[in-house]
Amino acid sequence: MNALQYLGEYTVLAPEGDRIGLVYYEMGEIFIRLGEYHRADIAFTTAVYHSSNRASWWSRLGYAREMAEDSKYALDAYNKALTLNPSLESAKRGRERVRESM
C-alpha cells in the first residue's frame, strides 16, 4: 500500500517533525482497516507518545487493543481518553464493551 510506504518514509526522514504524531496516527488507522491490530497498537502508541493530549487518539488506541484482545491495556487507553474528554462517546462505548468482556 503506497500510503503506508510514504508515511513510513516520513518517519525516517523527519522522526521529530511537527507532524510525526499525525503520521503515526494515520498509520494506525490504515492498520485497523487492514485488520492488523497489533501493528495499529504500535502506531497509535507512538502517536500518543508524541501528542498525549488527544483523547480521540487514545480512544483509537483502545479500540486497536480491544480488537487485538488485549483487554487490560484497551481499558487503560479508554480510561485515558475519558480523563482527557469525559464526554467522548467512542471511549465510553469501548470501555463498556471491554468491561463486559472481562
Mean pLDDT of the chain: 96
- Using the predicted structure, report yes or no on whether residue 1 has a pLDDT greater than 70: no
With cut-offs at 50, 70 and 90, classify the pLDDT of residue 15: confident
Where along the chain do its domains lie?
Answer: 2-101
User: What are the C-alpha distances in Å from 45 to residues 2, 27, 48, 62, 102?
Assistant: 22, 11, 5, 10, 22
Task: Quickly tell me which residue has 496516527 as its cell.
Answer: 25
Q: Which three cell numbers stand for residue 3?
A: 500510503
Compute the average pLDDT of residues 4-32: 93
CA distance 60 to 44: 7
CA distance 69 to 5: 27
Spell out the CATH class of 2-101: mainly alpha
What pTM does this model have? 0.93
- Using the predicted structure, report yes or no on whether residue 85 has a pLDDT greater than 90: yes
Instruction: Spell out the SS3 assignment of 32-50.
Output: HHHCCHHHHHHHHHHHHHH
